[in-house]
Structure 1
Amino acid sequence: MSSVTIGNPETDGSSLECEVRPSADLERFFTGNPFRTSYDCSVEDVPDGVLAIPVLANVCPVAWADGADIYVDEVDATFARALEDVKASLLGMYDFLEGGTLYAKRTIDAAPAGAGGGDAGGDDDEDGSDSALLFTGGVDSTCSYIRHRDESPTLVSIRGWTVAPDESGAEDWRHLRERVLSFADECDLETAFIETNALEALDHAMLLAHYKRFVDGAWYSSVGHGLGLLGLCAPMAYARGIGDLYVAATHWDGIDLEWGSRPDIDEYVRWTGTECHHDGYELTRQERLDVIADYVESDAPDLELQTCNVRMDGNCGECEKCYRTAVGLRLSGLEPTAHGYPFSHNDYADIRRALEGGEWVLGQDERYMWADIRDRAQETEPGSPEEAAFFEWLLEADLEALVDEAEPPLSHRLFRAGARNAPAPVYNAAYPMLTTAKNGLDRIRGRSR
């Protein structure tokens, strides 16, 4: 019987470590590394049932993909119920997921922080906050901050997905921290920084090899990241008395895409003392830029966004997401160069050339976002002949065909197919090449909400 056993969580001040022991048939989906997460607050007094949440949130979808049961000594009762709701949503979304049962020796109803259960105490604790927001400084999370700024939410940034947990991500993490700290200082907000090896404890390359053919993006973006990222926050939220945790929506009402962060996933995630919220789903991306434009006019004329798919120390101005954001800013009445994007009207010809030439790997979500831009462009007076020509082309462009043409290289697809059926020793020898080919894709697709 397929199974995954979660060891007892061990804490050392602000660090958490947990062993994961899969049955033999599931070993290829795990690297053998313990699951590690570190926080910038002590988690020593957090109950074991809450400490188990980060690893369960990231391991359970992998188990469900193979119909495996999960065994744990202790789990927060509220989160155990949440997992059943999230599982139902994911199984309704994907036919290849089989489900599985969580078996816990003990389910606990922990006392919320501030009621004898944690270090922080909500509104009366000057170091705490009753709300928090996953934050990168991108369009979506910035819009969510603006919508909830009256709550003074703690800004939460996570290293381990879009920013690699190893040395290769050190500079990106430094840039992200500096940017978030600067934003928080300007807005008089608290911050929380979390680092995890979740996608190194999971064999993410093998997950891609097996399941990429079923999803539009990659494993974590398409299946695991809503539950996974929110779950990583549980010990911190418990310790700091966070009652409401927001994650900004990527898509919006009317887009029914298979994606790992949706209202019917994120809104179900909860644990003792904390409810999670999928924020801004009623707004299209262009409408979120309108919210930002209003905020720029009223409060933050020098606001800079960070959405780049290539770098974290600013925006390259040449990748698909940079161009798409710059065009969206113009349609909301903002000058891109004033908000972090090198852009001129001559760039419209380059955008068209890249889209027509299949130079960017696009998914269905990008198709909807360019369609959103097209809808707004029909209501907007062009600012130059170059802009007018681009919008005229976009109005007639077959966006579905542009997505279809953006296929991964054949060599990557063949390698994945071979890896699915390779014996473990053969796969282990080939793993470094597969990792090099694939490691960046999921981080790129999920960057900078």
Structure 2
Amino acid sequence: MSAIIIDRPTADGTVLECEARATADLERFLTGEPFRTEYDVSIEGVPEGVLAIPVLAQVCPVAWANGADVYVEAVDATFARGLEDVEAALCGMYDFLEGGTLYARRTIDPEPEAGGESGLLFTGGVDSTCSYVRHREESPTLISVRGWTITPDPADDGKWRQLTDRVSAFAAERDLETAFLESNMLSFLDHPMLLAHYKRHVDGAWYSSVGHGLGLLGLCAPMAYARGIEDLYVAATHWEGIDLEWGSRPDVDDNVRWAGTRCHHDGYELTRQERLDAIADYVRTDAPALELQTCNVRMDGNCGRCEKCYRTAVGLRLSGLEPTEHGYPFSDPEYARIRAALEGGEWELGQDERYMWADIRERAREVEPASASERAFFEWLEAADLDELVSESGPPLSHRLLRAGARNAPSGVYNRLYPAWTAARSGLRLVRSNR
């Protein structure tokens, strides 16, 4: 019988550690590295059933993909009930997910002290900034996670410092608290192997397409319990009417909960342009110098040249703001550059970007262009076939062959070849950042 077994977690000050083992058929999906997350608050008084949530949130989708069960010593009863609904949502989204059962020797139902606090997963991009604007009266703790788009690798130390400095400055200006988490969830699970098995089923990578809603929220459980956070928000990437397979959706995130905390998929009723409208209103009333950070290239500002920078700059203009005043170098000649890049296939665009450029096109119909360059671009965009701009090419043949070999190799052979596979992982697209 296929199974993943979770050992009892340990809490040492601010550090959570836990070992996980699997039956032979699932060993390839675990690297053998203990699961580890470091918080900036002590978690020693957090109940064991809540301490188990971060690792369960990572391994359960892997088990469901293989029809496997998960065994744990203790689990929070509220989380276990919600997890059944998360499982149903993900299995309904993906045909390859078979589901499984969580078995616990003990379910616990602690009664945390009412904290009345709220928290928000925050990067400073459009989506999370909009969620802050919507909930600013709650003074939410701003929570940033190192472990997904910024890895624990020392090579990413600079990026992490840039993010924490920026979030800390944003928080200090608004008298908010921050929470910074560092986890090895991408190296605890063997994501190259998950990609080898399931890339053909998902648009993107394992964590973005399947795991990140449950995974990121679950990481926060011990910290949220310790801080008394009752409402935990994660900003929506998509919006109503976009039916894309994505690991963070209302039917996933809204069902993640544990003793004392409920999670919320926030802003799903707003398109990206409407989120920029909300930010623009906030800029005009409260924060004239607000700068966004959305770049796919840099963490210490916006390059102003990547697709996401251009898309955000155009959206800011459509919301009545000048991009140069909010972190984006932009001028009218850039419109010709955007058109050339889109027509020339310079950027690898997916269905996410198609919907977002369609959203821009919809708004452009309602706005009087401010210049001849802007008018020419919006006229081109109105006539453009956005489906033709979406990248249809798959990964290089060498990567497809490597994935096929990894899927079919016996575990013993795979373990001997693992160093070569690890060396090749730099050529694979492991994560696809939130848009």
Per the normalisation by structure 2, the TM-score is: 0.97
> Gaps spanning 5+ residues in structure 1: where?
115-120, 124-129
Query: d(CA) in 2 for partners of 1:148 and 1:370?
Result: 27
1:172 to 2:162 alignment? no
Q: How does 1:222-233 map to 2 (within 5 A)?
A: 222-233=209-220
Contact 1:345–1:386 (CA<8 Å) still a contact in 2?
Answer: yes
Q: In the alignment, residue 267 of structure 1 is paired with which amino acid?
A: D
Q: In the alignment, residue 49 of structure 2 is paired with which amino acid?
A: G
Contact 1:361–1:408 (CA<8 Å) still a contact in 2?
Answer: no
Query: d(CA) in 1 for partners of 2:156 and 2:313?
Result: 26
1:435 to 2:422 alignment? no
Equivalent residue number for residue 20 of structure 2: 20
Q: How does 1:37-48 map to 2 (within 5 A)?
A: 37-48=37-48
Instruction: Say which SS state the counterpart of residue 390 (structure 2) adopts.
Output: helix
Equivalent residue number for residue 424 of structure 1: 414
Matched pairs, number: 432
Query: d(CA) in 2 for partners of 1:266 and 1:436?
Result: 30
Query: d(CA) in 1 for partners of 2:138 and 2:419?
Result: 51
Query: d(CA) in 2 for partners of 1:425 and 1:75?
Result: 31
Instruction: Say which SS state the counterpart of residue 388 (structure 1) adopts.
Output: helix
The root-mean-square deviation of aligned C-alpha atoms, in Å, is 1.3
Deviations, residues 102-157 of structure 1 (Å, cap 9, x unaligned): 01000000121x2xxxxxx625xxxxxx1000000000000000000000000000
Query: d(CA) in 1 for partners of 2:267 and 2:201?
Result: 27
Q: How does 1:68-107 map to 2 (within 5 A)?
A: 68-107=68-107
Q: In the alignment, residue 122 of structure 1 is paired with which amino acid?
A: G
Q: 1:261 pairs with 248, 254, 262, which one?
A: 248
Instruction: Say which SS state the counterpart of residue 354 (structure 1) adopts.
Output: helix
Deviations, residues 341-389 of structure 1 (Å, cap 9, x unaligned): 1112211222122222222222211111111011011111112222212
**Quick check: 377-386 or 31-40, which moved more?**
377-386
Equivalent residue number for residue 6 of structure 1: 6
Query: d(CA) in 1 for partners of 2:20 and 2:301?
Result: 37
Per-residue deviation at 1:168?
1.6
**Quick check: 424-433 or 384-393, which moved more?**
424-433
Query: d(CA) in 1 for partners of 2:361 and 2:403?
Result: 35
Contact 2:289–2:325 (CA<8 Å) still a contact in 1?
Answer: yes
Query: d(CA) in 2 for partners of 1:169 and 1:7?
Result: 30
Q: How does 1:333-352 map to 2 (within 5 A)?
A: 333-352=320-339
Q: In the alignment, residue 194 of structure 1 is paired with which amino acid?
A: L
1:154 to 2:154 alignment? no
Instruction: Say which SS state the counterpart of residue 103 (structure 1) adopts.
Output: strand
Query: d(CA) in 2 for partners of 1:285 and 1:31?
Result: 37
Q: 2:193 pairs with 198, 203, 206, which one?
A: 206
Per-residue deviation at 1:413?
3.0
Per-residue deviation at 1:415?
2.8
Per-residue deviation at 1:229?
0.2
Closer, same or farther: CA 69–326 of 1 in aligned 2, 3 Å: same
Deviations, residues 15-73 of structure 1 (Å, cap 9, x unaligned): 00000101111111111100000000000000110000000001100110011110000
Contact 1:358–1:406 (CA<8 Å) still a contact in 2?
Answer: no
Closer, same or farther: CA 265–380 of 1 in aligned 2, 3 Å: same
1:122 to 2:115 alignment? yes
**Quick check: 271-280 or 317-326, which moved more?**
317-326
Q: In the alignment, residue 433 of structure 2 is paired with which amino acid?
A: G
Query: d(CA) in 2 for partners of 1:427 and 1:91?
Result: 32
Instruction: Say which SS state the counterpart of residue 278 (structure 1) adopts.
Output: strand
Equivalent residue number for residue 286 of structure 1: 273
Per-residue deviation at 1:217?
1.5
Equivalent residue number for residue 127 of structure 1: none
> Gaps spanning 5+ residues in structure 2: where?
none
Equivalent residue number for residue 300 of structure 1: 287
Per-residue deviation at 1:441?
4.3
Query: d(CA) in 1 for partners of 2:77 and 2:365?
Result: 51
1:275 to 2:262 alignment? yes
Q: In the alignment, residue 285 of structure 1 is paired with which amino acid?
A: R
Query: d(CA) in 2 for partners of 1:230 and 1:44?
Result: 20
Query: d(CA) in 2 for partners of 1:430 and 1:53?
Result: 33
Q: In the alignment, residue 65 of structure 2 is paired with which amino acid?
A: A
Deviations, residues 245-273 of structure 1 (Å, cap 9, x unaligned): 00000000111111000000000000000
Query: d(CA) in 2 for partners of 1:87 and 1:29?
Result: 19
Per-residue deviation at 1:315?
0.8
Contact 1:69–1:102 (CA<8 Å) still a contact in 2?
Answer: yes
Per-residue deviation at 1:432?
2.4
Contact 1:361–1:407 (CA<8 Å) still a contact in 2?
Answer: no
Contact 1:58–1:198 (CA<8 Å) still a contact in 2?
Answer: yes
Query: d(CA) in 2 for partners of 1:233 and 1:380?
Result: 41
Per-residue deviation at 1:426?
5.5
1:321 to 2:308 alignment? yes
Closer, same or farther: CA 32–441 of 1 in aligned 2, 3 Å: closer
Q: In the alignment, residue 382 of structure 1 is paired with which amino acid?
A: P
Query: d(CA) in 2 for partners of 1:181 and 1:234?
Result: 21
Q: In the alignment, residue 218 of structure 2 is paired with which amino acid?
A: G
Query: d(CA) in 1 for partners of 2:392 and 2:83?
Result: 37
